Structure 1
Amino acid sequence: MNIKSQKDFFSGLMFMGVGVAFAWGATTYSVGNGARMGPGYFPLMLGVLMAILGAAITFKALVVETVGGDKIGKWAWKPLFFIILANLVFGVLLAGLPIIKFPAFGMIVAIYALTFIASMAETGWKFKNTFILATVLAVGSYLAFVLALKLQFPVWPAFITG
């Protein structure tokens, strides 16, 4: 069998792998049914849909001819590094690291750090645009998670709120 688009083929395999992993992981929870959904229902359905989508993309990559075979390019190491770093820093700033007595800095500081670090992955990023984006994300997250959903986690650093 001839792969006609490498990008689509491997992205389809990735979608199938992640979908199967989610669906399999969801079976450890109570799934329930459509009328009485359990905690495993949504991840199971999401996993099944991702696997089906991946199968469709993989099939298309094997059937539909593309110009030049849609070869996979070189790894983009800089964006990969900054996106992973941004997520790690977000988690540490949001919850802290009790093992080394690093305090939680709260949601607002964590969102600003996440946005600024992740935007460094882009070539030619601008401070003003990143600041506006971080502010919109912080305000939106505060409204959604703290005010609307009433989730209990630190919003500001402990040295500010006491």
Structure 2
Amino acid sequence: MPSFIRHPKDFWTGIIFLFFGLSAVIIGLDYPMGTAGRMGPAYFPAVLGGLLSLVGLVGVIRSFLRPGEAIGKFHIKELVLILTAVILFGFLMRGAGLVPAVLVLVLLAAYASPKFTWGASLLLAGGLAIFAVVVFVKLLGLPMPILGPWFGF
């Protein structure tokens, strides 16, 4: 890392914000902008992308001005576990249902933590599964199977 970048975390966070903000603005260029009173399809992504880019620019500038700590180790195993958990959740929702999908999501994501224990993770997974059923199926009435066709329901 060059020596003029005094806070690498702020620098890379700012670069990421700039990338996504400018991407939203560029994608929005293909659509009509409209006005503040009559917003077009490009208005919302362009304004939010501009604000995100502004936050990113402030982060990059701040990284040159104030000292900070270096970027730590990049945790590939944990990243892959959490990404796999989210993908499995999407896959399992249709066939297995909400409860098994939430259980797999929480247990696999919790396994990525160095503080993982089976007892606490099972309690958390069970509690979140019950919470998801109560909120999404019972209160909001979303058409999600609690247990899916893989279990004969």
Query: 1:23 offset after TM fit, Å?
Result: 4.8
Residues in 1 aligned to 2:35 and 2:18: alpha-carbon distance in whole angstroms: 23
Query: 1:14 offset after TM fit, Å?
Result: 0.9
Residues in 2 aligned to 1:37 and 1:142: alpha-carbon distance in whole angstroms: 37
What residue number does 2:61 align with? 59
Change in Cα spacing, 1:41 to 1:92, as seen in structure 2 (3 Å) is farther
Unaligned ranges ≥5, structure 2: none
Residues in 2 aligned to 1:159 and 1:135: alpha-carbon distance in whole angstroms: 20
TM-score (norm 1): 0.72
> Matched residue of 2:14: which SS?
helix
Residues in 2 aligned to 1:38 and 1:136: alpha-carbon distance in whole angstroms: 42
Query: 1:41 offset after TM fit, Å?
Result: 6.5
Percentage of matched positions with identical amino acids: 29
Residues in 2 aligned to 1:41 and 1:138: alpha-carbon distance in whole angstroms: 38
Decide whether the 8 Å contact of 2:96 with 2:151 is kept in 1: no
CA RMSD of superposed structures (Å): 3.1
TM-score (norm 2): 0.76
Residues in 2 aligned to 1:155 and 1:90: alpha-carbon distance in whole angstroms: 13
What residue number does 2:74 align with? 75
Query: 1:42 offset after TM fit, Å?
Result: 5.9
* Amino acid corresponding to residue 16 of structure 1 in structure 2: L
What residue number does 1:91 align with? 90
Per mean C-alpha deviation after superposition, the further-off stretch among 74-83 and 15-24 is 15-24
Deviations 1:72-112 (A, max 9, x none): 233212211211111121111113xxxxxxxx111211111
The total of aligned residue pairs comes to: 151
Unaligned ranges ≥5, structure 1: 96-103
